[in-house]
Structure formats: C-alpha cells, structure tokens
Amino acid sequence: MTGVVPLNLGILTTSLSSEAGGLFESVRFPANLMRERGHSVSVYGVTDPALTTTRDAWEVSHFRAFPSIGPKRFGFAPGLSRELDTKAFDALHLHGLWNHTSIAARSWNRKNDGALVISPHGMLDPWAQRNSQIKKRVAKWAFENANLRSAGVLRALCWAEADAIEALGLGVPIAVIPNGISLPGADYVPTKPADTTRKRLLFLGRIHPKKGIAELIDAWAIAAAKSPTIRNDWVLQIAGWDDGDHLQHLVRLARERELDNVEFSGPLFGSAKQDAYANCDAFILPSYSEGMPMTVLEAWAHRKPVLMTHACNIPEGFVAGGAYRIETSPQPLAVALAYHLDQPSALAETGERGRRLVEERFTWERIVDQHIGLFTWLSGRGPRPHHVAD
C-alpha cells in the first residue's frame, strides 16, 4: 500500500449470494481484493435464503444484508436506504438496475453529493430492455432515468455495452472495465463424474429463455440424428438455477425429442461448479444477450474451448482463437455442433488459447487495478483513467 491513499468505498447490489448467479462472483471478487489491498469496503444488499451458505465468501470491512418486503424481484428494503444515507463514502458502486437499490443509490447521491458508479451488467442492452418492457418503462419514468443521469460514471463491461449505453443519450461518462476471473489453484483435483466414457458439452448459467437453451436442445436433437459422434460420444449437461420455471419446459422438450444424452444437473456452486468445468470437454453459451458472462471466463480458466454467440460480448475470444462463434437458430447451431465437437485436437488447442487470453487480460488482479483507478479519480485523488470516455 506504499504511496496509495486508502479509499472508503461502498458496494450496493440486490442479491449478495449465489442466487445472483455470475453477478455474485463479479461483485464479490473485486470487493474482497480491494479490501485485501488496504481499502475500506462496505457491502450492502438484500437478505435471501442462499446467503446463509455464502456469507463467509465476503471478506470485506463491513457487510450488511437487509430484509425486504413486497415483490422479491424489486427488493424493497427500507432499512437499507436509511443506513446507506448515513454513510460518507468516497464512492458508491451500484451493481444492477430496475429495483429498490437504484432508489437507494440515488438517495445516497443526493444527500452526500458523492461519486456514484453504476454497473448495469448488460441490463441496458436492447434485448434486455425489450424483456418485461412495460415494467422497465415504468421504472425508467419513476426512478431509473434520474438515477442513471445522476451517476459520476457508468461502467460498461465491454465496448458493445458502452455503445448501447451511449445510444441512450444519458450524458454521463462511460468507463469500460470487463469482468475478471481467478485461475484454479494448481493443487485442485476434481471429482470425476459417474460416466467417464462420453465427452461432455457444458452449459452452466441461469435457466432463462434469453440463454437460448431451448434452441440448443433442438439443435442437439438435429445434430444427434445426423452425427454418430454427437449421438454416441457426447453428453449435453445443462446446469444452473431455474428462473421463472423455464426448466420444466426444457425437460419436457428433451423428452419430446427423445434425447437420452442430455443431463439436467440443477444449480452448481463451489467445488461442484469447479468439477463441472474441469470434467467437461467444451462449454457452450448460445445466449441472446449478455453483459459479459463470467461463465465463459471460468471455462477458459479451466482450459476449455467455448462455443458462444456474438451477443456474449467477448469478441476478444474469437480474435484470440479461444472460441467458436455460433448462432441461436437450431439448424445452423446443429451444423456447428456436429463440426466442432468432432475435432478433439482442435478443441484442446482452442481451450489453451482461451486460457492464455484470460491470463493476459482478464485476471482479477488486473481488473481491480482499473476499479481502484476509477474510484481514485472520482474521489478527486488521481488522474482520469484512460478507460473512461466522455
């Protein structure tokens, strides 16, 4: 910490547990690392059932989760707003939109005249705004537009997200800071699956229509009908937590397609999630909309080749040769599956390229430097970082 002025930082997000999916990791890791580097980091959010098993993962200066009332998705927690208003942080970082934390952040910003950073995490992308469009229009009018315009800076995960934010004409500077990843330890030894005779294509993430999983199952059925390799040598493993009862539709779809090489693993956390990455032979994300998916970075960290859409917003993966570009439509997706999964040596090389890309650009140690530079500038203690555009 020699020569570095300690910062007093606030972190605000609705879910502080694994219920937030990839957002949990992308908020927790930089918060813990900034505290490790000597900064004061206070984290606030809303209580949920999974918090009892993930509370110890937060290694910060101050941690507080508040009970909510009313609809769960809105996360109305009056106690959170009251406590937050009393805090004089050098900067407050809000993760996510469309719920009560936006109102709390706006209130803090008005009362403290502080530096507010907002990370939408893809929630301002065109596809995301069309989803539940009426509710989001009401939220914009009621509080979200005022909250966004009050920010000192909006943090985008990638240039595509920055372009989507810029198109809204909010008049707020935009910082492009990607998500990061922690590399698996050298001493990690995974638990092997019961079936080791077949290779595994893994989808891991929120079970939601925007992820393109139904289209993937249709494509898998088409590919299995035409390719002996897909039919006999591969298993499609679908893992993640169910959002909106979409899982029932997927299970029924796999049954209707008479697929006996599709597994539904449910939500995976901790060592079970690490084992899933370690034991798969390729990872797939046929998504319609992403901010910057942690799961892709995690797959690369485990040296796994990735099949993903352009909407995953990591074009560096295609440039570096760590990923294959796929479409969401079942027919072209089936062609891509049959072609790429029948080339084991190419898959292995692709996975190694993905690992090198993560090591060079996406480790948390590199990303946290950018966070600290941003907060230091907003607090008036340092120069404007190069990754902040007007």
pLDDT tens string 237-275? 999 999 889 999 999 999 999 999 999 999 998 889 999
> How far, rounded to the nearest angstrom, does the alpha carbon of residue 216 sit from its chain's CA centroid?
20
- Over residues 107-127, mean pLDDT: 90
Going by pLDDT thresholds of 50, 70 and 90, the confidence category of residue 195 is: confident
- Over residues 106-128, mean pLDDT: 90
CA–CA dist 79, 86 (Å, integer): 11
Considering the domain architecture, whether residues 282 and 144 belong to the same structural domain is answered as no
Q: For residue 192, is it within any domain?
A: no
Q: Identify the DSSP state of 6.
A: -
Considering the domain architecture, whether residues 308 and 170 belong to the same structural domain is answered as no
In this predicted structure, what is the pLDDT of residue 200?
A: 97
Considering the domain architecture, whether residues 172 and 243 belong to the same structural domain is answered as no
In this predicted structure, what is the pLDDT of residue 1?
A: 44
Q: For residue 378, is it within any domain?
A: yes
Whether the predicted pLDDT of 37 surpasses 60: yes
Residue type, 365: E
Q: Give the phi and the psi of residue 191 in degrees, each rounded to 5.
A: -85, 130
Considering the domain architecture, whether residues 225 and 322 belong to the same structural domain is answered as yes
CA–CA dist 304, 323 (Å, integer): 9
Q: For residue 2, is it within any domain?
A: no
Q: For residue 385, is it within any domain?
A: yes
Give me the number of domains the chain comprises.
Answer: 2
Q: Where are the alpha helices (DSSP H) in 17-171?
A: 22-36, 51-54, 78-84, 100-112, 126-130, 133-139, 145-150, 159-166
Read off the CATH number of the domain in which 214 is found: 3.40.50.2000
In this predicted structure, what is the pLDDT of residue 19?
A: 85
- Over residues 74-96, mean pLDDT: 94
pLDDT tens, residue by residue, 266-320:
999 888 999 999 999 999 999 998 988 999 999 999 999 999 999 999 999 999 9
Considering the domain architecture, whether residues 354 and 214 belong to the same structural domain is answered as yes
pLDDT tens, residue by residue, 5-34:
899 999 999 999 988 888 898 999 999 999
Considering the domain architecture, whether residues 342 and 377 belong to the same structural domain is answered as no
Tell me the percentage of the chain whose pLDDT exceeds 70: 98
Q: Which two tokens stand for residue 89?
A: 């942080």
- Classified as helix, coil or strand, 175 is strand
Top-confidence residue, 327 or 388: 327
Considering the domain architecture, whether residues 210 and 170 belong to the same structural domain is answered as no
Whether the predicted pLDDT of 45 surpasses 70: yes
For the chain, the average pLDDT equals 93
| Contacts (Cβ under 8 Å, ≥6 apart) of 217 | 236, 250, 253, 254, 257, 259, 262
Whether the predicted pLDDT of 124 surpasses 70: yes
Considering the domain architecture, whether residues 167 and 71 belong to the same structural domain is answered as yes
Q: For residue 247, is it within any domain?
A: yes
pTM of the model: 0.84
Q: For residue 189, is it within any domain?
A: no
Considering the domain architecture, whether residues 308 and 333 belong to the same structural domain is answered as yes
In this predicted structure, what is the pLDDT of residue 22?
A: 80
pLDDT tens, residue by residue, 316-368:
999 999 999 999 999 999 999 999 999 999 999 999 999 999 999 999 999 99
Range among 128-132, 192-196, 379-383 with highest mean pLDDT value: 379-383
Q: For residue 188, is it within any domain?
A: no
Considering the domain architecture, whether residues 33 and 166 belong to the same structural domain is answered as yes
| Contacts (Cβ under 8 Å, ≥6 apart) of 108 | 10, 84, 85, 87, 92, 114, 116
Residues 290, 122: contact at Cβ < 8 Å? yes
Considering the domain architecture, whether residues 332 and 371 belong to the same structural domain is answered as no
Whether the predicted pLDDT of 2 surpasses 70: no
CA–CA dist 376, 90 (Å, integer): 8
Task: Please give the residue range of the domain that contains residue 32.
Answer: 8-180+363-389
Going by pLDDT thresholds of 50, 70 and 90, the confidence category of residue 196 is: confident
Q: For residue 232, is it within any domain?
A: yes
For 7, 8, 106, 289, the CA distances from 88, given in Å and listed in that order, are: 11, 8, 14, 36
Nearest-5° Cα angle at 83, 172 to 115: 20
Q: Give the phi and the psi of residue 172 in degrees, each rounded to 5.
A: -120, 140
In this predicted structure, what is the pLDDT of residue 3?
A: 54
- Over residues 135-157, mean pLDDT: 93
| Contacts (Cβ under 8 Å, ≥6 apart) of 170 | 145, 148, 149, 154
Considering the domain architecture, whether residues 117 and 221 belong to the same structural domain is answered as no
